[in-house]
Amino acid sequence: MTRPRRLRAALVLLLAASALVVRPIAAADSLPSSLSGPDFWRLIDSLSEAGGQFQSDNLLSNETGFQGVLPGLAKTVAPGGVYMGVGPEQNFTYIAALKPKMAFITDIRRQNMVEHLLYQVLFQSSADRVEFVSRLFSRPRPAGLSAASSVDELFAAFGAVAADASLFSRNLAEVRASFATQGYQLTDEDQAGLERVYAAFRDAGPGLSYNFNAGGGGRRGGGMPTYADLMTSRDPEGQPRSYLASEAAYALLRDLETRRLIVPITGDFGGPKALRAVGQYVRDHQAIVTAFYTSNVEQYLFQGADSRGNVNGGGENFYANVATLPLDASSMFIRSGNAGGRGLNVGRGFVGGLGRMNVFASIQETLAAVKDGRVRTYGDLFLLSR
């Protein structure tokens, strides 16, 4: 039996089994209202698998179209479920919009887990957006900013403030002390990675971009959107929707982080453990995965396809892993990409050339398309998008 046929056969069994346990999101679940520090760390440890390498530090997103899907998603995805994602800060904007009870961020880079732990402590210790941005970039709080300040005013003010070395050292010490108090057992390598990541935020400030090389004197922009660009962008209706665009969005994230309900783990999308372990945890708590942000990870999984574009390797394993998650008809993938560099009509518009956009698609419909052999390339996924 060829690998695509094995995949289809496996998905038939998995989809049939999952159909027996799907529950509507309105059903009562037993997701925790909060996690203690030790329980949070044990959960990270129990769900994670061995990490791997990526081509960049990926300290923040380069997806300028990340807000494009928000109006449609807000009408499709029910609040109160479980969010899954990958990568750094773009998850916060999706979480703020979709309002899940709990979130799991899975990334092959252990450094991403460390970066999210840094974010957690900064959220916990910062009462408002101004204080948070001050700590994030190690810059003194400018005069004149308040909870009523717009996100544009916020980043314009901080963009004119220089980094403060003493503030950085004090904040880093407080972060490490918080890790110890909460019972997080970081390795020496994790601690070194923490300082390297935090120093990159200090050195580049709001001009930090995707291609900044942490610890290597990396470039601040280089044609990529900066942190300020991403936070001050708008959705297609002209509304600022980033997680720092309003105190309400920030407060929602801060509440989840204070209760330790955004759980970053290390794992490979096509690996044997992490995604299935998250799915089992969600299932054990009678909950549903309502959204799964994959960025363009699927593009890398498809790079192992054969000359006819058949799914294999990591892609085959990924969709088999996803088929074990507890889902319902409203569960959505959120993905980003340029559809392999070719123009595609995807229902909501034309993706031309190397233009990037974010789209969303039904997870169950995607799995059915994979099972039926309709998904052979990364570009095929965009034909399923809404």
Summarize the confidence of residues 188-204 as an average pLDDT: 96
**Burial environment of residue 124 by CB neighbours within 10 A (0 to 12, 13 to 18, 19 or more):** middle
pLDDT of 263 higher than 90: yes
pLDDT at 343 over 50: no
- DSSP-derived letter for residue 140 is P
Q: How far apart are CA 196 and CA 66, in angstroms?
A: 26
Give the pLDDT of residue 27. 52
State the total domains in the chain.
1
Residue 127 has pLDDT above 90, yes or no: yes
What is the predicted pLDDT for the residue at 72? 92
- Supply the range of the domain harboring residue 95: 3-382
Q: Burial letters for 64-88: b for 16+ Cβ neighbours within 10 Å, e otherwise?
A: bbbbbbbebbeebbbebbbbbbbbb
- State residue 173 phi and psi, 5-degree precision: -65, -40
Average pLDDT over residues 157-185: 98
Is the pLDDT at 19 greater than 50, yes or no? no
Question: Tokens standing for 377?
Answer: 């390339």
State which amino acid sits at residue 26: A
Conformation bin of residue 336: beta by default, left when phi > 0, alpha when psi is -120 to 50: beta
Max avg pLDDT among 26-40, 214-228, 264-278: 264-278
Specify the DSSP class assigned to residue 209.
B
> What percent of the chain stands above pLDDT 70?
82
- Give the dihedral of Cα atoms 358, 362, 366, 368; nearest 10 deg: -170
Whole-prediction pTM: 0.88
| pLDDT category of residue 45 using cuts at 50, 70 and 90 | very high
- Strand, coil or helix: 110: helix
| Count of other CB atoms within 10 angstroms of residue 305 | 17
* pLDDT recorded at residue 53: 73
Asked if residues 18 and 329 have their Cβ atoms less than 8 Å apart, the reply is: no
d(CA 165, CA 167): 5
Does residue 339 have a pLDDT over 80? Answer: no
Euclidean distance between CA atoms 169 and 164, whole angstroms? 9
